[in-house]
């Protein structure tokens, strides 16, 4: 059974930016840091005042290379997001509106090489989030221009655009099994195919609205009806929306407006339905009345953890 994990590792010094679940441990890094593929033990870091970047050792938390040279990250404005599909590729984007794909060579506590492989042009405003899937050779970038763009990871070329969002994109995820994409705007979820077809749009809350900060798929099997979309929100609540409750004849939104992209047309369509809200130690209604910490990162685990590792 999948588990939705919070923080069960050593606390970072700032807001959590990424969580990775392994069989025996959970790795956690703070905002503006990204763990590179194991077994490197390295992290990529950005957000410095000079718009440069750095590489460091996760175990020691020591930066071993601060990178600010010609044709480097600092030439592309403020970096707001990054992705690392493998040990030799880092993808960055931000205020320049350009998605930059970098070729890197990182050894033991040493960066040997970092070179811009290709800039990807298409957005007209700041890029706010990235998602990548090696299995589907897909990069997805979300922007303040109210669109997402799909890029081919291997060819580094434009595929298609996901238009019609109600605002700036706040979070993205790709289902590695199906290739489906979820994009988030405020409290709204949009579900798309790899070809850019909108499958469903819905709100994620049955009560007061809260903006989504992070999102993830469960990915048991492509056909498994228990697959869900999990979102972390500004009100400190984790919301679970069902992906495969079936096909419905009439589309409508939970909040009365989110379904406008699909309409209330007669026909058989897939739907998203909020099925659960999760909080830690208090009821959802109590959590809403307090200043609860926002959920900034999510991870799905395939593993069962010992009692000492369970959520508290």
Instruction: Determine, yes or no, domain membership for 178.
Output: no
- pLDDT tens digits for range 210-232: 999 999 988 765 555 567 899 99
**Domains: count for the chain:** 2
**Same domain (yes/no): 245, 270:** yes
Instruction: Determine, yes or no, domain membership for 312.
Output: no
The pLDDT value given to residue 58: 86
**Same domain (yes/no): 122, 48:** yes
- pLDDT tens digits for range 122-157: 999 999 999 999 999 999 999 999 999 999 999 999
Confidence of residue 172 (pLDDT cuts 50, 70, 90): very high
For the cut 70, the answer to whether the pLDDT of residue 244 exceeds it is no
Q: Could you give the CA distance from residue 122 to residue 112 in angstroms, rounded to a whole number?
A: 30
**Same domain (yes/no): 4, 50:** no
Range of the domain at 127: 32-169
The pLDDT value given to residue 187: 93
**Same domain (yes/no): 44, 18:** no
For the cut 50, the answer to whether the pLDDT of residue 254 exceeds it is no
Instruction: Determine, yes or no, domain membership for 125.
Output: yes
**Same domain (yes/no): 11, 36:** no
Q: Could you give the CA distance from residue 182 to residue 191 in angstroms, rounded to a whole number?
A: 5
Q: Rounded to the nearest 10 degrees, how much is the dihedral formed by the CA atoms of 233, 239, 243, 248?
A: -110
Taking the model in full, what pTM does it have? Answer: 0.81
Express as a percent the part of the chain with pLDDT over 70: 72
**Same domain (yes/no): 113, 212:** no
Q: Could you give the CA distance from residue 70 to residue 52 in angstroms, rounded to a whole number?
A: 11
Residue 39 maps to which CATH number?
A: 2.130.10.10
**Same domain (yes/no): 49, 131:** yes
Confidence of residue 112 (pLDDT cuts 50, 70, 90): confident
Confidence of residue 170 (pLDDT cuts 50, 70, 90): very high
């Amino acid at each position: 059974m999948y588990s939705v994990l919070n923080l069960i590792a050593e606390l970072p010094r700032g807001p959590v930016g990424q969580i990775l679940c392994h069989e025996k441990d959970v790795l956690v890094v703070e905002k503006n840091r990204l763990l590179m593929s194991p077994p490197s033990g390295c992290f990529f870091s950005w957000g410095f005042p000079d718009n440069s970047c750095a590489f460091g050792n996760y175990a020691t938390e020591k930066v071993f290379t601060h990178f600010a040279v010609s044709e480097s990250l600092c030439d592309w404005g403020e970096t707001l997001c990054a992705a690392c599909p493998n040990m030799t590729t880092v993808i960055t984007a931000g205020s320049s509106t350009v998605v930059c794909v970098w070729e890197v060579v990182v050894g033991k506590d040493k960066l040997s090489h970092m070179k811009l492989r290709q800039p990807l042009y298409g957005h007209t405003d700041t890029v706010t989030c990235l998602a990548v899937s090696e299995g589907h050779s897909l990069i997805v970038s979300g922007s303040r221009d109210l669109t997402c763009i799909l890029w081919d990871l291997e060819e580094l070329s434009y595929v298609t655009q996901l238009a019609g969002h109600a605002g700036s994109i706040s979070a993205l995820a790709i289902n590695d099994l199906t290739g489906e994409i979820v994009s988030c705007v405020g409290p709204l979820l949009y579900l798309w195919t790899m070809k850019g077809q909108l499958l469903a749009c819905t709100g994620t809350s049955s009560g007061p609205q809260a903006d989504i900060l992070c999102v993830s798929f469960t990915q048991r099997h492509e056909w498994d009806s228990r697959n869900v979309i999990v979102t972390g929100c500004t009100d400190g609540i984790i919301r679970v929306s069902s992906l495969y409750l079936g096909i419905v004849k009439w589309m409508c939104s939970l909040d009365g407006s989110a379904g406008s992209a699909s309409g209330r047309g007669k026909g058989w369509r897939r739907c998203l339905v909020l099925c659960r809200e999760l909080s830690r130690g208090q009821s959802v209604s109590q959590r809403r009345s307090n200043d609860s910490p926002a959920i900034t990162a999510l991870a799905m685990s395939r593993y069962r953890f010992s009692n000492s590792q369970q959520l508290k």
